[in-house]
């Protein structure tokens, strides 16, 4: 992925910022999941998590068109 971004001449600061945001959201998901599991149950929390990921991917695909 980094090689692709570098070949398309994305600035280093942009790549670093996006990677940082990815790390932060990953850590937040790790922290939030136990609370969601206790509150709404494992299956429903997993379903919501998958739905959120699919919605983010759909936004990305639609914005690229």
Sequence spans of domains, the chain:
2-64
Residues 22-65 have pLDDT tens digits of: 999 999 989 999 999 999 999 999 999 899 889 989 988 888 77
Say what the pLDDT of residue 44 is. Answer: 94
Using CB atoms within 10 A of its CB, is residue 49 exposed (0-12), middle (13-18) or buried (19+)?
Answer: middle
pTM exceeds 0.75 for this model = no
Say what the pLDDT of residue 38 is. Answer: 93
- The answer to whether 46 and 34 are in contact (CB under 8 A) is no
- The answer to whether 49 and 33 are in contact (CB under 8 A) is yes
Say what the pLDDT of residue 6 is. Answer: 87
Give me 28's structure tokens: 């937040």
């Amino acid at each position: 992925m980094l090689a692709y971004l570098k070949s398309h001449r994305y600035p280093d600061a942009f790549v670093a910022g996006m990677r940082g945001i990815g790390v932060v959201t990953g850590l937040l998901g790790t922290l939030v999941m136990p609370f969601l599991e206790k509150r709404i149950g494992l299956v429903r929390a997993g379903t919501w998590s998958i739905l959120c990921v699919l919605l983010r991917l759909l936004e990305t695909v639609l914005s690229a068109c």
